[in-house]
């Protein structure tokens, strides 16, 4: 998200795949933008087990950043490359219904229900949904949800053929620092248990494990190394990251 040229290339690639008829959904985060905007409140970011502690004041900034600034930035980049992108969040049509994880985390939720109707309708009309992970509880209170968890939950509910996490890391690294090409649930548990995985990689790996358990055939974690490599990752005839099976 901080590399403007890489982000533009990614959106151009996704737009091309969408124009070619591939049904895609883009779920996004925006942690660094949130940190910058929280500085307006003189608040330092606080994380617990890779999840952002989100108080009442911070929640407003998180939602404005994700559902407003980041979401519409991505929609604009995609549409500039010829996609028919539409920006929504988990609030729209109660796409993501959640429950609080713990009082210590504040307004941070765990998704308990996915209502795919709005995404199904957009895909049927050949739009490309761009989804902010802000979610609602059963009383329509808004919650911050980890974007990896939101992507995993939505992919499972849509019975997607593939779930791909694109971030600023090339894939999952082992204790020797080298990229792991393929990983299973036992391998994920070992990386977390042994402290090899840390920070934001922990919820990402847990999301991967959950997605595979819920029927997604392949889950990929990859960085951005160019349009050709990414398209090959999507098609399944190349792997520059880590594939979780």
d(CA 103, CA 118): 31
Predicted TM-score (pTM) of this structure: 0.89
Report CA-CA distances (Å) from 49 to 11, 16, 114, 137, 159: 30, 37, 24, 22, 28
Q: Is 207 helix (H, G, I), strand (E, B) or coil?
A: helix
Burial class (CB in 10 A: 0-12, 13-18, 19+), 20: exposed
pLDDT at 22: 92
d(CA 244, CA 168): 18
Q: Is 219 helix (H, G, I), strand (E, B) or coil?
A: strand
Per-position pLDDT tens, the chain of length 245:
778 899 999 999 999 999 999 999 999 998 888 888 888 878 778 888 778 888 888 899 999 999 999 999 999 999 999 999 999 999 999 999 999 999 989 999 999 999 999 999 999 999 999 999 999 999 999 999 999 899 999 999 999 989 999 987 888 999 898 999 999 999 999 999 999 998 778 888 888 888 888 888 889 999 888 888 898 888 888 899 999 98
Output the six-digit token pair for 199: 């920070």
Domains parsed from the chain with CATH numbers: 1-160 (3.40.1160.10), 161-245 (3.40.1160.10)
d(CA 211, CA 241): 17
């Amino acid at each position: 998200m901080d590399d403007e040229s890489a982000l533009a290339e990614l959106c151009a690639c996704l737009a091309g795949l969408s124009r070619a008829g591939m049904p895609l959904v883009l779920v996004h985060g925006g942690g660094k933008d949130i940190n910058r905007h929280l500085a307006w409140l003189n608040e330092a970011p606080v994380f617990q087990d890779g999840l952002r502690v989100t108080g009442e004041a911070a929640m407003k900034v998180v939602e404005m950043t994700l559902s407003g600034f980041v979401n519409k930035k991505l929609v604009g980049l995609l549409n500039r490359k010829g996609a028919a992108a539409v920006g929504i969040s988990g609030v729209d049509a109660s796409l993501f219904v959640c429950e609080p994880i713990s009082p210590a985390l504040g307004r941070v939720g765990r998704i308990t229900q996915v209502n795919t109707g709005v995404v199904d309708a957009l895909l049927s009309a050949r739009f490309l949904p761009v989804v902010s992970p802000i979610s609602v509880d059963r009383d329509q209170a808004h919650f911050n949800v980890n974007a990896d968890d939101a992507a995993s939950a939505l992919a499972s509910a849509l019975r997607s053929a593939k779930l791909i996490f694109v971030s600023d890391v090339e894939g999952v690294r082992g204790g020797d620092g080298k990229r792991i090409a393929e990983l299973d649930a036992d391998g994920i548990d070992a990386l977390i248990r042994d402290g090899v995985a840390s920070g934001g990689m922990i919820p990402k790996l847990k999301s991967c494990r959950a997605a595979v358990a819920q029927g997604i055939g392949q889950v990929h974690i990859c960085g951005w190394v160019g349009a050709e490599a990414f398209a090959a990752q999507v098609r399944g005839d190349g792997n520059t990251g880590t594939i979780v099976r």
